[in-house]
Amino acid sequence: SDYSGEPPRHPSLRINAKEPFNAEPARRDLVASYITPVDLFFKRNHGPIPVLDDIRSYYVTIGGLAGGPRRLSLDDIRRLPKYNVTATLQCAGNRRTEMSKSRKVRGVGWDVCALGNATWGGAKLSDALQLVGVPYHTEITPSGGKHVEFVSVDQCPEEKGGPYKASIPLGQATNPAADILLAYEMNGEVLKRDHGYPLRAIVPGVIGARSVKWLDRIDIIEEESQGFFMQKDYKMFPPSVDWDNIVWSTRKPQMDYPVQSAICSLEDMSAVKPGQVTVAGYALSGGGRGIERVDISPDGGKSWLEAHRYQKKGVQYVAGNVTSDKWAWVLFKAIVDVNSDTEIVAKAVDSSANVQPESVESIWNLRGILNTCWHRIRLLATP
Ligand code: MTE
Ligand code: MO
């Protein structure tokens, strides 16, 4: 693969793999703002960043069972009603390094920052599909049946040199309330090359792998995509399955992400002065489920206190069960007293009362995805 055309990147990013480029921000940088700056937003790639210079000749082709095919230029997409959706994109591999410490897993290692919260601007996928004659859908549909497949222009070794592909159920793609975007802006600016310029899918509440960048085609197909990243990756297996007994077809491709939180104001095993310590981080859940609460333990899980949560820039605390952005994370903060060596723990509860699992062993899986166990920070109290 040719990596000579990569864009410049922020020097403070922590690089997990150079080619393809995979990087995440430092913990403290991530929770310094409610909206993640584009420069510091994690970058997750499976191949070189495509060079798409002449966007006047760019178009996305909508076809497959949709008929046609119809080509939509960027102007066609921009003429559709524009929506701004604040949504957190999280890689299913977030926190993989920690899972690998319990038992080895395969995949790029990530600390706790393989996610970011951005305001995405673009047309709704449901409007683009309606434009080419595919009607809206407003009921909940089963995940079986027809899918909408996104096909990129990038070339991935895993796809045997072909483009990155992923699909979502047709009923979700055509439902305006799912807020799925064909995004051309990120935080009010033209999308950067690293994040899918000129056009990407944003599928809120779903693992990042389905938000395909650098769109080339959108096809309606009979069943879910047969691409590598749907069939041979991003599936969650039980702890009993390893590389010698895996049968990929026994599991469905992962869609929604589960409830998650992590502490970002502290590094594991760091020294602190005895006294008050700030415990701050993020919490989020998939499928449009908001965060109901974040519990913090100052003593390894024996006792708990509830953290303050906020969603907006102006540090507006969320009271009771009122949350404003259903696709976006909440940031949290608590002050705890530390007088001796201890372990600080965070766990979140979502609006359906799903709770993060206590141990990593119980959710270990060979690909190291969806590590959502209680997040623990060991602190050394040093006077
Ligand atoms: N789309 C293409 N075309 N190629 C990719 O490698 N990576 C996916 C998804 N879309 C990928 C892609 C994965 S696994 C994630 S987590 C997100 O993009 C990351 O988006 P970001 O790099 O904008 O943060
Ligand atoms: Mo990902």
8 lies in a domain? no
- The first and second tokens of residue 157, run together, are 């070794």
pLDDT value at position 143?
A: 63
Same-domain pairing of 77 and 170:
yes
- Nearest ligand 1 atom to the CA of 47 is 6
Can you tell me the distance from the alpha carbon of 19 to that of 6, in angstroms, rounded to the nearest whole number?
Answer: 10
Protein residues placing their CB within 5 Å of the ion ligand 2: 44, 91, 208-209
Percentage of the chain lying above the pLDDT 90 cut = 88
Tally Cβ neighbours within 10 Å of residue 209: 22
Closest residue by CA, ligand 1 atom 13: 209
Does any ligand 1 atom lie closer than 6 A to the CB of residue 356? Answer: no
Does any ligand 1 atom lie closer than 6 A to the CB of residue 195? Answer: yes
Neighbour-count burial for 92-128, b at 16+ CB within 10 Å, e otherwise: bbbbbbbbbebeebebbbbbbbbbbbbbbbbbbbbbb
Please state the ipTM of this predicted complex.
1.00
pLDDT value at position 65?
A: 92
In angstroms, the first-to-last Cα distance of the chain is 53
Does any ligand 1 atom lie closer than 6 A to the CB of residue 263? Answer: no
Residue 124's CATH number:
3.90.420.10
Length of the chain, in residues? 383
6 lies in a domain? no
Same-domain pairing of 230 and 132:
yes
- Identify residue 37 by its one-letter amino acid code: P
7 lies in a domain? no
Beta bridge partners of 140: none
Residue 339's CATH number:
2.60.40.650
Same-domain pairing of 91 and 222:
yes
Q: Is the dihedral of CA 366, 367, 373, 376 positive or negative?
A: positive
Higher pLDDT, 305 or 323: 305
Cα angle 39, 45, 51 (rounded to 5 degrees) comes to 80
Same-domain pairing of 86 and 228:
yes
> Which range is least confidently modeled, 52-56, 199-203, 287-291, 339-343?
52-56
Closest residue by CA, ligand 1 atom 2: 213
Same-domain pairing of 306 and 158:
no
81 lies in a domain? yes
Give 26-75 pLDDT, tens digit per residue. Answer: 999 999 999 999 999 999 999 999 998 888 899 999 999 988 899 999 99
Mean pLDDT of 89-112: 97
- Nearest ligand 1 atom to the CA of 116 is 24
Q: Which of 19, 213, 229 to mutate to test the pocket of ligand 1 (most atoms within 8 A of CB)?
A: 213
pLDDT value at position 137?
A: 86
Among 250, 283, 310, the domain boundary falls at 250
Q: For residue 166, how many C-alpha atoms fall within 13 Å in the half-sphere facing its CB?
A: 30
Same-domain pairing of 193 and 285:
no
Domain range spanning residue 324? 260-381
Question: Are the C-beta atoms of 277 and 266 separated by less than 8 Å?
Answer: yes
Does any ligand 1 atom lie closer than 6 A to the CB of residue 209? Answer: yes
Give 202-260 pLDDT, tens digit per residue. Answer: 999 999 999 999 999 999 999 999 999 999 999 999 999 999 999 999 999 999 999 99
Among 193, 216, 250, the domain boundary falls at 250
